[in-house]
Amino acid sequence: MLRVVRLHAPAWWPAFLFAAALLLSGCSLLPQKDAAESDATPGAVASAGGTAGTAFTVDVQAEPATVREFLERHLEIQRFRELDDLGAVEISRLMVAAEANARELLNTLGYFTPTLTLELRETPGGKAPREVRITVEPGPLTRVSSVQIDFSGPIAENPAAEAQRDAIRTGWALRAGQPFNQQAWDAAKTGALRTLTARRYPTGSILASKAEIDADRSEARLGATYESGPAYRFGPLVVNGSQRYPVDSVRRLARVPTGAEYDQQLLLDAQQRLASSGYFNSVFLTLDTTTDPHAAPVVAQLTEAPLQRVVLGVGFTTDSGARLSIDHSHNDMPLLGWRAVSKLTIDRDLQSLGTEWTAIPDDSGWRSFASGQLKSEVSGSFTVDSGRLRGGRSQGGDHIDRSIFLQYDYAVNRGFNPPPSASALSLNWGWTGRYFDNAAAPTRGQGVALELAGGYTLSGEQLPFTRTYVRWIGFVPAGTVSNDDDTQRRNARIQLRAEAGVVSAADRAQIPSTLNFLTGGDTTVRGYGYRSIGAVKPDGQVIAGRYLGVASIEWQRPFVYQGQLTAWDSTVFIDVGAVADRPADMSAKVGVGVGARWASPIGPVQMDLAYGIAVHAFRFHLRLGFTF
């Protein structure tokens, strides 16, 4: 509800009387010529110099530009321009309605005391025989003076919901001191309702709302009352559309927390687990709010994916050029009943063929898996032909992934005076935690991954070794950037990255090069080629090394164009990385540069121009998407 309160004589009353007098007279806005003559021959005026088929043009004079553009788009008088049989009297009457329409439009922008002047001009040499000029002085912009948010229903009395009530109040988008307009008012109400219905109370609603406008003080007093409805808990999963897979398998894939308080994010997470499992083409999960709130069924509407699928893909990376890939998936392998995904990839520096088999997870989310891969890639100064077999258990969670597996590796190095070929068997443990505000395009939060392995070399002398690898990324807010009218804001941020790796073994141990480390490229040290930074042999050739260190700092700032926030960010960065066979031989390679980030409809696009100080060369890096 929008209510305008005026504490003094209403400014629009004299204007209304004046407009009414103009309407009754029907001629006060006519140009200074014979009205009867102009009305009798509308076609003659058009043919004398205007464009046939256009009765008049509309020229809006207003500042700021956002007001002018808004009026030009939404004024109803624009709809009548193409009626070429309109005379001056009819246009004058349309102008009276246009004044009221313009005031209504300005009210939605937060301008409640505008001054408008409407003129009808003869323009025989213009685009049309007449021009309607609307001059607008919008007056002071109304700002919010106070906000009152109240609650009704169970949420008002539930002590456990105090944090939710506080979140709604603190998250209210249209705060005291900010400019008032209808769009921001509607968005604030809707945003608070989303916060209410996102947890415990999915049937919540707006019970009442009001915006009291003091036009003379240019102030708005806002109030809203929210009705929560009953609190809901997740009940059993009801599956519709699954024919090939048992309901229990769908339940274990979704992992809906039956018995827990309703949380929209938990429902979306379960939906995402089903959608990303590969078993279904479409997934839609809803809470049935027509039944018992203490055990509301979760309804899964599914469309199964084909039993087998082949996908051809082409792509391009600045690291390795054009890429061709072929993927084959089988969702129900004979005998095992596992899912198999096989992939062939070919690009300039890498050719690989691999397959991974995974079982349906158990009730705890753990699943068995097996995988194999053959690969040939350029690593440092050599080409490495390698193979890898894995088998073990993994668990994928909303924020944490875990795995434990047995792994066999072999690597054959090709080139001038290559390192010896090697093979090894190891037991591996992996843990990854992701704590981002947005998994696809994070702006705050952090992620950390840890890999530990221990095993024996199988080539030459059989010797023990251990391998440790850790990587981390963090996003730290660094101020807020807003548009000119302060209605949109986005955080600038500092992105920090770090990697470290160590392979501990006797010097004579023959470690497969695929277990050692190389760095450089789009996601590590920019300004250098992909996996071009490694340990340096006495003859100058680069090989994979036993020690790795990488660090990066990047400042990302939203880009403002013509006073408006855009979907782009500008960046500056410094990357440092080093690889060696001994810690004393670590020599840092530094890359510096600038770049841009674009929040595209299909994911974040990262573009960087980096200068590798050690190689004295610029390098362009392009990457689509964010993964950790």
Look at residue 587 and tell me whether its pLDDT is greater than 80: yes
DSSP 79: G
For 194-224, the pLDDT digits (tens) are: 999 999 999 999 999 999 999 999 999 999 9
- The helix or strand, by DSSP H or E, that contains position 369, with its residue range, turns out to be strand 366-379
* Bridge partners, residue 165, by sequence: none
Domains of the chain by residue range: 9-137, 143-227, 234-304, 306-359, 361-624
When the pLDDT of each residue in the chain is averaged and rounded to a whole number, the result is: 88
Closest Cα to residue 418, out of 471, 460, 381? Answer: 381
Locate the DSSP E strands across 73-218. 115-122, 130-137, 143-152, 205-214
What class has domain 234-304?
alpha beta
DSSP codes, 441-479: S-SSEEEEEEEEEEEEE-SSS--EEEEEEEEEEEEEEEE
- Considering the four listed CATH numbers 3.40.50.12280, 2.40.160.50, 3.40.50.300, 3.10.20.740, the one that applies to the domain covering 361-624 is 2.40.160.50
Task: Encode pLDDT of 374-416 as tens digits.
Answer: 999 988 889 999 999 999 999 988 789 999 999 999 999 998 8
Average pLDDT over every residue of 496-523: 96
Q: Tell me: pLDDT of 510 over 70.
A: yes
Topology match between the domains 143-227 and 361-624: no
- Of 125, 50, 136, nearest in space to 86 by CA: 50
- Give the pLDDT confidence score for residue 398 in this predicted structure: 79
pLDDT for 17: 33
Question: Cβ of 121: how many Cβ atoms within 10 Å?
Answer: 13
- What is the structure's pLDDT at 53? 65
- Nearby residues of 281 by Cβ (< 8 Å), 6 or more positions away: 303, 304, 305
**Is residue 21 over pLDDT 60?**
no
pLDDT tens, position by position, 178-191: 999 999 999 999 99
First to last CA, the chain: 46
Contact yes or no for 371/350 (Cβ under 8 A): no
pLDDT computed for residue 30 by the predictor:
37
- Tell me the pLDDT tens digit for each residue of 247-297: 999 999 999 999 999 999 999 999 999 999 999 999 999 999 999 999 999
CATH number attached to the domain at 143-227: 3.10.20.310
Q: Which of 209, 193, 207 is nearest to 264 (CA)?
A: 193
Size of the chain, expressed as the number of residues it contains: 628
Structure confidence at residue 50 (pLDDT)? 39
pLDDT (average), residues 410-437: 94
* Residues 290-333 pLDDT 10s: 999 999 999 999 999 999 999 998 887 777 778 899 999 999 99
Identify which of 621, 605, 556, 281 has the alpha carbon closest to the alpha carbon of residue 440. 605
pLDDT above 50 for 105: yes
